[in-house]
Structures are given as C-alpha cells and as structure tokens.
Amino acid sequence: MRLFIFAIGGTGSRVLKSMLMLSAAGVRPLDENGQPVSNMELVPIIIDPHKGNEDLKRTEAMLSAYRSIRYKLYGNRTDVDGFFANRIVTLREIMRDSSIQLNDTFIFNLSAVERNKFREFIGYDTMNEANQALSSLLFSNDQLENKMNIGFVGSPNIGSVALNEIKDSNEFKAFANVFNQGDRIFFISSIFGGTGAAGFPIMVKNIRQAANLDINNRDVLRKAPIGGLTVLPYFNLELGDDHRIDKADFIVKTQRALYYYKETLTGANDSNLNTIFYLGDQVVSVPYLYDPGEHGQRNRAHMIELVGAMAPFKFAGLPNSQLSDDNGYPLPSTAYEYALDKDTLNVDFKAMGAETRALIYSKLVKFHLLFMHLNTGFKDTIGQGYTNDKPQIKSDFLASQFYRTLADDFMNAYKEWITEMYNNMRSVELFNIGEWDMNKAIHDVNTAKSFFGRKSVDNNVFKSVMNNLSQSSTYAPDEVELKFLDLFNRAADKIVAERFENIN
Amino acid sequence: MKHFVFLGIGIAITLVFFILSYSQSFNIFEQLYFNQGFNDQLYNLSMYPVLALIVIILTWGAAALYYYVINSVNFDRWYHWAGVLGITTLVSPIVCYLYIDSALKNAGLAYGGESVQFAMQLLLMSAVLFVVASFSMRWWSTNCRHTPIPQ
C-alpha cells in the first residue's frame, strides 16, 4: 500500500519532520492486529509556495538524508524491521509515465504561484473596473500586493485561489497516474494559517472531483480513502508592528474554517474525507519570532507535531471496513482526537497514553541510544569485536557518505528536534537532554533493578550484545551499513527490554 | 568449518606434544635441555607425562579462562591477551619447577640448578602451547574471538 502524504504549509513540513524522526526510529503503521502494515510505501509531497521557509528546507534536507540512508540499508525492499524501516519515495521514483516531466524532489512545484504577486496571479490589472472592484472587496490591498514566494501570509482566501492551480500541475497528474486501488491519501495542514487551511479542502475537492479532470485513475481517486490531520492553534507569536499575521485571529480563523470544513468535508453525511484527526493545545507554545515569511520562518519543533506525526500511521493502519463500504465507496468522516494521559507541562513517555507508548517508546529509546552510541562509543569500537566479523566495519566506514549522512546530517537534525521540543511549551522531555550517560538517558525511567543494585547500560554493554548477535548473523559483503544498524537495533531491543524498567 | 579445522589441528599438536613427552627415542623435553643424570631421573620417575599434562592443563586452561570466562569487551585488546600469555608463560614453568623440585626431594635427590634450567625451556613450550590453544578455541568466544588478531 502507498500512503500519499500531502504536507501543506509550514505546519505540514514540521509534522512531516516529526514523522521522519519516528520513521527513522523504526515506527511503522500497525494494522488492527498490531502487525506492521505490509508492503508500505510513504510518498510525502510538500505543498508550500514559500520555498525559503526554513522549516521546509530542514524537512527537505532530512527527507533526502533519510532516503539515501534507507536506500543504502534496504534498497527498494519494503517489509523490513529496524531503523529507517518505512520506505519513503518521491513521486518521480514511482512514476510509470515518463512523458510527465517531474523533478526528483518531495516538493510540489508551484513556480506559477511563487513568482507572482497575487494581483498579477489573478490578472488584476487586466480586469475591467467592475471585476477590480469585486477583487478589492474580496482581497485587501496587502493581500493583492503579497508576493507569493513567501506563502499566503495567513490568508486562506488568497491561498484558495492560488492553489486551485494545483490540479493542472505535472505533480498532480503524476500522482493521479501512480495512485492505485488500495492506496490511501493523507493531508497534514494547519487550520489557522494561510497555505494549509486553503490547500487542504482544495486538494480534497480536486481528488473527489477527479471525474472532471483529464487524468488517469479517475474512478480510483474518486473512491480513494482520504484522511487528514487538521492542526488547531498551538503556537504563539511574538508581538510585532506588522500585523499581517495576528495571533488574535487564530481562533476566529479556526472557527470559520471548521464551519467551512463541516460544510464541505466532514459533515455527517459527507464522504469527501473518511478520517479526520483534530489536534490542538490550549497551552500555547513559547512565542515564535514574528515572521510572515521574509526571514525564513524557522519555528521550534513542538509536541503537537510529534503527536500529529502519528496520525498518518494510525490512518494507514485502519481497516478498509472503516473507510469504504462494500462497493468501495468512501464512508462518511470519522473524527479522532488525542489526549495525554497526564495533563502536564513536561511531557515524558509516562505522560503519554498506553497506545502511544506501545507505538513509539521502545523505538525512540533505541534510536536515542543509537544517537548516543554514535557520539560516544562507536568510533572506539572499530577494529574490535563484531566490527571484525565479515563484512568488516573498518575505519574508512567513518568517512563514508552513509556514515556522514547518518551521524552528522541526520543525527544533528535529531538532536535539534528533541532539543527544540524540550525547549518549547509544553516541554517534551522524553530524554534527559545533554545527558550522555545511557543509564540516565530516558526521563524518569531508571535501569532495571538487579541483585547488586541497578543494571548498567553503556557502550560496552552494546558492544558485548552486538558481538554475541554478530556470531549468529550473516550479511552480504556489501551490507556493512545494514550490519551495523541491524546489530545495533537488535541489541537495543534486548537491552531496552532487559535493562530498563518496563513502563508499558 | 574452518574453525573446527583449527581446533582439530590444535588438539593434534597438543597430543603430539604429550606423546613426545614420554617418547624414549625423541623426547621433546630433552631436545632443548639435556643433562644426563637429571633427565634420567625425570624419565625414570615418569615425570615427563605429568609435566606435559601440567603445561597442557595450564595453557589450555588459561586460554579457556581468557576466551570463555573473562570474555569481556573490557579485555578484548591484543595486549590483554598478551598479558594472559605472559602470566601463563611464567606460571607454567614455576608450577613445573615446584613439582620437579618436590618429586626429586621426595626421592632424596638434589638437582636445584638443573631444575631451574630445565624449567626455563618450559617458558617457550608454554608460550607455544598457549598460542596453539588460543587459536584452537577463540573462534566461539563472544567478545574475544578477534583477539589477538582479527579472524
């Protein structure tokens, strides 16, 4: 099954980044029996005209890093366990129709939108006087003058016009061509901004009205299971003189958009959207720097994005019977909400519900231990123990593109991500930030008790368990990278289960 | 399979050592050091096989201790192995000397200087047998199978 994930706007990129982190940790969508969904491929498509958005750029860089790491580990295989388990592909990679020109990127090409001011985009200057008057009534002067390469600056009314062009794009045609029976579609967007709030309903409308478009797979698309994550206001902005985006408008815009969604997407008998996840928090974030777009918009990662990242996994694991009727037609919307187990400002694993812990706890802990091991112990291990088993991990491994991408690019981004979440409000305190002692890595979780005190976890324990596992493992000569991460993953499985307190 | 071949070769070498220890025509203990009276007494008192057994047990025992009891990532460097080799190489001749000295005294004989010289040759034999034992059994050690050199 392919899950096409349209991440719209800044929030879309940030949630996608959290989803990448979970995927890197090995979190996979689980079906109703708790088994990983088989043959799963994720196809993220970022829709954001604001190419200079730092959050988008960070997510794009991570997507590329993830993709190259995963390819080196597993090639094109899908059903694998371990770190970087989910296969993530671009539209270009899975496209069959080579007549469609497409860049090998995760970003939807919106060049037609980006290069114009909104007034140029709608041809304001060529309108007759009556239409100009009507346009001036619908759009403020600021909005008409808005250069759209910085996004829609919190204005869904201009976004809804500009993004309507999407249906004619090569990306949309390519998506329609590769979409098959059994695939699913998921949208990630905020409801209180401009790009996401506008893009989400437009995209759903275009997919459901596929019969009117000149594309393949119209019928399959019309019946496609569609889910969406709608992020309600969760962050705060610093006060500024410029009021193009005003946090005071967030709630009002949300209310109006929710009414609109109810009319067009999520009504009781409405089958446009099968599943919707509502997510928000009355505890607002640490105020973000006010930046409508000109300075890159780089916001701290947030707990809402981490929780939101689980929504596509949940959606991918839902049984077909909850999404389509016996004839394959989509069922009306089912709404999901999320609650913490404990309403606290410092969210650790124990504050999350049992279902969340079951999904992410051991995976994220293992990934964090990998992060620590790469920073504190791995280099000293080379030339000893399991690294000498065939295929050997030699010192030149440290200079390889794979290692640099993993240990530098990806792990630095991971560190940034957990630190940003920790420094935000609510503070996500899954791990003790800055702590390099593995025994104290997990917040409020000790190592297990033993006869002589508490069990110990350190790089030597990992080395020993990996030595043991390596004795009974076989890897092909070109699977050095897989050998390292697979052994570490299996060792971490054992160590987390046996040497840390069980909080599940 | 390769590892079992090494084990087989190691056992074979050790058996040959043991057999040659009581051989009359080619006694391995008499090749490096020979003193007519002293060696005759060792042979007549049937001490050669016991000495061979002491060396075998100590060297194979030390190798087994290193690879399967110590067997730790804290002691998996070549110099840790070399340390055990050194200790074994020293301990084995000392134990043999004490045994020879005790047996000869019980027989009312005094070969103090010869006993020490004879024990010196066991330094080399113990070292060789420890290496043989190491390369016979190290392959199945969890943490030290690549010590002293990678497989």
| CA A206/CA A164 separation, integer angstroms | 8
Nearest Cβ partner of B142 from A384, A392, A471?
A471
- A51 touches A151 (CB < 8 A): no
CA-based nearest residue in chain B for residue A393: B150
| CA A52/CA A57 separation, integer angstroms | 7
| CA A227/CA A215 separation, integer angstroms | 22
Q: What is the band of A137 on the pLDDT scale with cuts at 50, 70, 90?
A: confident
**A118 to A62, A63, A150, A302, B7: CA distances (angstroms):** 31, 30, 11, 31, 80
Contacts of B150 in chain A (CB under 8 A): 383, 388, 392
Angle between the A248-264 and A195-208 helix axes, to the nearest 10 degrees? 10
Higher pLDDT, A437 or A176: A437
Domain ranges across chain B: 2-140
Q: What is the band of A301 on the pLDDT scale with cuts at 50, 70, 90?
A: very high
- The secondary structure of A205-267 as a DSSP string is HHHHTGGGSS-S-HHHHHT--EEEEEEPP---B---S--SS-THHHHHHHHHHHHHHHHHTS-
The predicted pLDDT at position A243 comes to 58
Q: Which amino acid is at A234?
A: Y
Tell me whether residues B76 and A460 touch, CB distance under 8 A.
no
The predicted pLDDT at position B80 comes to 97
Cβ-defined contacts of A142-148 (< 8 Å, 24+): A142/A244, A143/A118, A144/A117, A144/A118, A144/A119, A145/A117, A145/A118, A145/A119, A146/A117, A146/A118, A147/A116, A147/A117, A148/A49, A148/A113, A148/A114, A148/A116, A148/A117, A148/A118, A148/A121
**A window 125-144, beta carbon within 8 A of B:** none
The predicted pLDDT at position A95 comes to 86
Q: Where in chain A is the domain with CATH 3.40.50.1440?
A: 2-110+151-338
A395–B contact, CB cutoff 8 A: no
Contacts of A472 in chain B (CB under 8 A): none
The predicted pLDDT at position A195 comes to 81
From A27-41, A208-222, A475-489, the region with the lowest mean pLDDT: A208-222
Contacts of B140 in chain A (CB under 8 A): 471
Give this complex's ipTM: 0.88
How many angstroms away from the CA of B139 is the closest CA of chain A?
Answer: 9
Contacts of A380 in chain B (CB under 8 A): none
pLDDT digits (tens, 9 = 90+) for A98-125: 677 888 899 987 776 666 777 887 788 8
The predicted pLDDT at position A239 comes to 66
Our separate counts of H helices and E strands in chain A read: 20, 11
pLDDT digits (tens, 9 = 90+) for A65-86: 999 999 999 999 999 999 999 9
How many angstroms away from the CA of A467 is the closest CA of chain B?
Answer: 6
Residue A153 has pLDDT above 80, yes or no: no
CA-based nearest residue in chain A for residue B142: A468
The predicted pLDDT at position B111 comes to 83
Contacts of A458 in chain B (CB under 8 A): none
CA-based nearest residue in chain A for residue B77: A384
Tell me whether residues B151 and A464 touch, CB distance under 8 A.
no
Tell me whether residues B143 and A471 touch, CB distance under 8 A.
no
The predicted pLDDT at position A197 comes to 83
Residue B138 has pLDDT above 90, yes or no: yes
Q: What is the band of A249 on the pLDDT scale with cuts at 50, 70, 90?
A: confident
The predicted pLDDT at position A288 comes to 66
pLDDT digits (tens, 9 = 90+) for B76-128: 999 999 999 999 999 999 999 999 999 999 888 888 888 999 999 999 999 99
As a CATH number, domain A2-110+151-338 is: 3.40.50.1440
Interface A-B: count of C-beta contacts within 8 A? 31
Tell me whether residues A463 and B146 touch, CB distance under 8 A.
no
Contacts of B68 in chain A (CB under 8 A): none
| CA A420/CA A262 separation, integer angstroms | 34
Nearest Cβ partner of B76 from A384, A389, A468?
A384
pLDDT digits (tens, 9 = 90+) for A196-234: 888 898 889 888 887 777 777 788 888 899 999 999 988
Tell me whether residues B73 and A392 touch, CB distance under 8 A.
no
Contacts of B77 in chain A (CB under 8 A): 384
Q: What is the band of A244 on the pLDDT scale with cuts at 50, 70, 90?
A: low
Higher pLDDT, B114 or A464: A464
Question: What is the three-state SS of chain B?
Answer: CHHHHHHHHHHHHHHHHHHHHCCCCCCCHHHHCCCHHHHHHHHHCCHHHHHHHHHHHHHHHHHHHHHHHHCCHHHCCHHHHHHHHHHHHHHHHHHHHHHHHHHHHHCCCCCHHHHHHHHHHHHHHHHHHHHHHHHHHHHHCCCCCCCCCCC
Contacts of B76 in chain A (CB under 8 A): 384-385
- Substitution target in B2, B80, B146, B149 with the highest count of A β-carbons within 10 Å is B146
The predicted pLDDT at position A291 comes to 61
Tell me whether residues B142 and A392 touch, CB distance under 8 A.
no
Contacts of B151 in chain A (CB under 8 A): 388-389
pLDDT digits (tens, 9 = 90+) for A382-416: 999 999 999 999 999 999 999 999 999 999 999 99
Tell me whether residues B143 and A392 touch, CB distance under 8 A.
no
Class of residue B2 by CB neighbours under 10 A (exposed 0-12, middle 13-18, buried 19+):
exposed
Tell me whether residues B73 and A463 touch, CB distance under 8 A.
yes
How much of chain A, in percent, has pLDDT values that exceed 70?
Answer: 92
Tell me whether residues A464 and B142 touch, CB distance under 8 A.
yes
CA-wise closest residue to A481 among A395, A381, A402 = A402
